[in-house]
Amino acid sequence: MPDLHLSNGNDDYTQPSSEKDNGVNIFGEAGDDIIRSYGGNVLGGKGNDTIQFIPTPGQTWRQLIAAYWDGAPGKVVVDLLGGWAQDGWGTRDTLIGVEAVAGGGSEVELYGTNNDNSFWITTAKNTVDGRGGFDVLNLPWFSNTAPSWSDFNIKVSVDGKSAVLSSPKSTSFSATISNVEALSIWDGKVSTQRSLSDFVTVQDLAIGGLVQGNVNRWNAASPVGTAVEVSFSFVAKAPGSGVGANQFRVFTTTEKEVVRKILQDLTSFTGLSFKEVDESSGTVGSMRFGVSQQTVTKGTSNFPGEAGDAAGDVWMDIESMLNLAPGSEGYAALLHEIGHALGLRHPSNVDASDHYVQEILPAYNQTTYTVMSQNFSSDGLFPSTWGNMDISALRYLYGNKALNIGNSTLVLSDAQARSQSSLVDDGGVDTLDASGSKVGVSIDLQPGHLSSFGVTANGIPAVNNLSLAIGTVIENVIGSNGDDYLLGNDADNRITGNYGNDWIDGGNGIDTAVFSSPRSNYFISTAFGKTFVSSRDGSGGFDTLLNIEKLQFSDGTMNLTSKALGADAEVVVDLGNTLNANLPVSSDLDSSNATYQLLKGPTIGVASIKPNGEFTYLAKPGAVADSFSYTLSDGKGNSNVYTVFVQINADVQALNGSAANDQLNGSEVNDLINGMGGDDQLSGAGGNDIVEGGNGIDTAIYRGKLMDYRVKIFGDIYQVYSKTGVDGTDTLSHVEKLQFSDMTVNLMVQSLAATAPTANVQRLMELYVAFFNRVPDADGMAYWIGEMQSGRSINQIADIFYGAGVQFSSLTGFTATMTNTDFINVIYKNVLGRADGADAGGLNYWNAELTSGRASRGSLVSTILDAAHIFKGDSTWGWVANLLDNKITVAKAFSVDWGLGYAIPDDAIKHGMEIAAAVTPTDTSAALNLIGINGADLALF
């Protein structure tokens, strides 16, 4: 930001409106200054200054920062709600309309308003209270090197409302914060924001949110965590009064065994041990178990150290005892009451006697984390074990005993699918096998995290029904035959996705993705920092890999680096011919930084590769398939190995067109089709065909749906691979369009869009949104780009769009006889997301503009589109611009990046509207999923 320094006198400065976008730092210097500004940093300096924010109507995203990093020697205290600041110079500032503050000096106290506030803190001692609103705390730099999240120790309260921050980078830094919703780090280019609740840990929640108190434990006479023996007994005689007096009965033999089993399980992972006492001997245990009729509770119990001799007593309701099978509601109630008897509290205030100052975050107040919760899962499952939060709390209270320390494999089955359970494994190299699931699974190997496995007894996919205890490290996981989400941990993981389209994230460590077949059965590609591994015959699914360092196949293992990312290639060559083409471009390197080198030559043919990726392959007799491998390097020690798969055509049938528009249909064997001149329709049918379009606008036609094919580009050659094998693998050159049974692909549109001004291309897409509330098709985009280049204006095109909308009035809402009011309302709905149309003021204004002729319906649309972008960043209306931007992102992906359209015109409108309707101000994924195309299968440009 540029600096503006006022004088050392009493200044009265108002920033000119023409400079409100300059982002200036205004230094008041000494004196009692009055400074009014539209934004930027305002540093009042010495003196009793007045700092006033000048709001701009309709631009609530603007922000003035009252800054105090000017070297003041004293403590800085800022109260935005009160509108004042002690500036550290011994003087006091008045703040008017200010919602953001940057601290400075050796100690800072910052207090927010009930609106959304932004805070910047120093490397010294900080106290921040955001009060109401959504408040963001920006973390400091400790040197000229940008900070990272690992530079901060962030301990958040169990309710997520406060936190204490420190840093190994600076002993002088501390921050005590409350009512702050998010933290942000600026790396010099972009800000990364994380919710404060992201830093909550299961261990902290267990100790701070489940432990009743230091005196409420059976080892209260010893340090917390000391092993202890607790006696227990089963009540043999009805008490004279109290909860146990109403319809008392004793525990049956079977019910006693359930209790003994629960207590025995506790001894396996904690320092607790239990000794049973027979009450017929005249003595009773510290914990007593009885059954009585209760009207409003499933059971009741007392904490250790409370209720005198009744401490630790557990009374179960008669109805709760009807089913004590693990995973039943009664069993969950019994676990809950035993938890109380051992010193565990409710995670929130649910009983009249609960008065906890801090309640656990709602996201963790679930029975899948703790049996002490009252919030059961929507899938109808109940706990069959202690939750991972319970395990942490009990180990904290009574010590930790190692469990399952050897190498083990846990094969998940219906038993795990039909209840909520936790896994404790304190050693060895272990495998979690989810291959038996009837549906895709979500397995998270991070200690303390949740996983979803199997189908409940009611046929509902289970959700978050398996948890790992803190300290449990599982090294290996095997997925199901469905579509899985598999997440590793900090160990070196081996992750097997099996069949299905799996998302595999190894996390930290040296992680290996395991595949069951030879390397030659898979096609590897990359994009957006991810590696994709797909089965070449389509049977093994399409896996997306992140943070994976090795790929293991049945015939060998290959290493992956996180840079120099490329792809396999599939080519078709006629026997005796030489193919000259380019290897796939790197997805993360500029061409000038990428180096290609032949690694292993072909078995049959002859191949050569230039450092820039140009290669030749000579097809020689001896086989119908061949392959060779190459390395892609960045010159900095990073390289990856990829394979070129070659299909050799031995027999080729030639089919030639003419200078006119031809329709050429190949045979079910390998064809060589040459369209020559004209706009040709070219169908290779079966076999591995070579299609040369020649001059004109030529279309290659395929019998299946687009999703049944994979399209790749190699230089100026396209390869269309049939996943089902129906149409073989075709090699295309000088072909401008692809037509499938459901969709079309325009191969020209991206280059056409690149020749037009970016703003005009975006406005075209916005017109589709405004008039039809749909994403455009590629053919339409190509046509209208051509019209613009021929001199037609955006407003003229907008008027034509209105006419087109009338033709599809049932879908668009436009009619030839619609009033200006009706037209304005439709545009407000489509562009501004106003479900009820325009407000009264907007209607009056635009009706006057249209009636007077100062605006046409086309120019009205352009103006409203411009207005929508003005809302960007506005706390109230920013979603309008975000919604429009997200619709354009999806529109560009559909029509330009992928060049897509629909084979049937009505589908272009219907499905285009469905896709646009799925876009939200915060998400495009649902809309992109509706397109139904895997981006890795359509690498066109």
Tens digits of residue pLDDT in 408-426: 999 999 989 999 999 999 9
Residue 804 pLDDT grade (very low, low, confident, very high; cuts 50, 70, 90)? confident
The whole-number pLDDT of residue 941 equals 61
- pLDDT of 574 over the 90 cut: no
- pLDDT of 580 over the 90 cut: yes
The whole-number pLDDT of residue 811 equals 66
The tokens for 667 are 């045979």
* Alpha carbon distance 258, 261 (integer Å): 5
Cα torsion 526, 528, 534, 540 to 10°: value is 150
How far, CA to CA in Å, does 390 sit from each of 269, 335, 861?
12, 10, 59
The tokens for 573 are 């060559």
Of 167, 170, 125, nearest to 150 by C-alpha is 167
Arithmetic mean of pLDDT, 204-212: 96
Phi, psi of 363 (to 5 degrees): -60, -25
Contact of 292 with 315, CB cutoff 8 Å: yes
DSSP state of 209: H
Residue 672 pLDDT grade (very low, low, confident, very high; cuts 50, 70, 90)? confident
Residue 872 pLDDT grade (very low, low, confident, very high; cuts 50, 70, 90)? confident
Residue 853 pLDDT grade (very low, low, confident, very high; cuts 50, 70, 90)? confident
Segment holding 228, helix H or strand E: strand 228-234
* Span 882-928, pLDDT tens digits: 888 999 999 999 999 999 999 988 888 889 889 998 999 889 989 99
Handedness of CA 18, 81, 164, 507 (dihedral sign): negative
* Alpha carbon distance 532, 55 (integer Å): 49
Handedness of CA 647, 935, 583, 656 (dihedral sign): positive
The whole-number pLDDT of residue 390 equals 98
Could you tell me the maximum CA-CA distance found in the chain, to the nearest angstrom?
110
Residue-by-residue DSSP string for 145-199: SPP-GGG-EEEE-TTSSEEEEEETTEEEEEEEEES--EEEEE-SS-EEEEEGGGG
- pLDDT of 805 over the 90 cut: no
* Alpha carbon distance 26, 49 (integer Å): 13
Contact of 384 with 331, CB cutoff 8 Å: yes
The residue count for the chain: 941
Residue 856 pLDDT grade (very low, low, confident, very high; cuts 50, 70, 90)? confident
Helices (H), 362-453: 388-398, 414-417
Residue-by-residue DSSP string for 695-743: SS--EEE-SS-GGGEEEEEETTEEEEEETTSSS-EEEEES--EEE-SSE
**Ranges 131-145, 372-386, 821-835: which has the least confidence:** 821-835
The whole-number pLDDT of residue 109 equals 97
Residue 845 pLDDT grade (very low, low, confident, very high; cuts 50, 70, 90)? confident
Beta-bridge mates of residue 13:
35
The whole-number pLDDT of residue 702 equals 93
* Alpha carbon distance 463, 239 (integer Å): 43
Beta-bridge mates of residue 101:
66, 119
The whole-number pLDDT of residue 815 equals 78
Contact of 37 with 49, CB cutoff 8 Å: no
Is the model more confident about 389 or about 933? 389
Q: What is the C-alpha radius of gyration for the chain, rounded to an integer number of angstroms?
A: 35
Of 87, 90, 64, 67, nearest to 77 by C-alpha is 87
Of 294, 235, 283, nearest to 259 by C-alpha is 235
Share of the chain above pLDDT 70, in %: 99
- pLDDT of 93 over the 90 cut: yes
The whole-number pLDDT of residue 507 equals 96
* Alpha carbon distance 650, 670 (integer Å): 8
Residue 652 pLDDT grade (very low, low, confident, very high; cuts 50, 70, 90)? low
* Span 351-371, pLDDT tens digits: 988 999 999 999 999 999 999
Residue 106 pLDDT grade (very low, low, confident, very high; cuts 50, 70, 90)? confident
Query: 549 CB contacts (<8 Å, ≥6 apart)?
Result: 506, 510, 511, 512, 559, 560
Beta-bridge mates of residue 700:
682, 738
The whole-number pLDDT of residue 505 equals 98
* Span 122-146, pLDDT tens digits: 999 999 999 999 999 999 999 999 9
- pLDDT of 740 over the 80 cut: yes
* Alpha carbon distance 161, 176 (integer Å): 11
* Alpha carbon distance 187, 146 (integer Å): 5
Contact of 398 with 225, CB cutoff 8 Å: yes
The count of other CB atoms within 10 Å of the CB of residue 758 is 9
Domains and CATH numbers, the chain: 3-204 (no CATH), 205-398 (3.40.390.10), 445-559 (no CATH), 569-649 (2.60.40.10), 653-741 (2.150.10.10), 750-935 (no CATH)
Mean pLDDT taken over the chain = 92
Strands 512-514 and 550-553: parallel
DSSP state of 333: H
Helices 778-789, 794-807: axis angle to 10 degrees equals 140
Arithmetic mean of pLDDT, 810-828: 80
